């Protein structure tokens, strides 16, 4: 996060959610995210959804996703990056 921030906004929470959930943020930055979460129900919901996604995806194995669905998802992400 930018130096000398006294608060963070919703966009900054979204941009740093992975580092926050992995406890990879500097303690001061994590405290700013937590301060924001104390005031923003929308970001609390977002962070909770990301936690749920991480837990769910963490339990998936390659064979749990049908091959055609896997290929379709990979193609969608390849196309997304190209646009």
pLDDT in tens, 46-71: 999 999 988 888 766 777 778 898 88
Higher pLDDT, 40 or 60: 40
pLDDT of residue 67: 87
* pLDDT for the residue 75: 85
The token pair that represents 15 in the structure block? 């941009």
pLDDT for residue 34 is more than 90: yes
Straight-line distance from the first to the last Cα atom of the chain, in angstroms, rounded to the nearest whole number:
27
Q: How far is CA 58 from CA 19, 62, 73, 78, in A?
A: 16, 11, 17, 22
Residue 1 has pLDDT above 60, yes or no: no
């Amino acid at each position: 996060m930018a130096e000398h921030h006294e608060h963070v906004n919703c966009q900054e929470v979204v941009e740093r959610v992975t580092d926050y959930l992995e406890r990879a943020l500097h303690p001061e930055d994590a405290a700013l995210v937590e301060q924001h979460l104390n005031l923003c129900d929308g970001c609390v919901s977002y962070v909770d959804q990301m936690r749920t996604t991480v837990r769910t995806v963490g339990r998936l194995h390659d064979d749990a996703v049908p091959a055609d669905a896997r290929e379709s998802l990979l193609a969608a992400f390849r196309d997304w990056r190209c646009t």
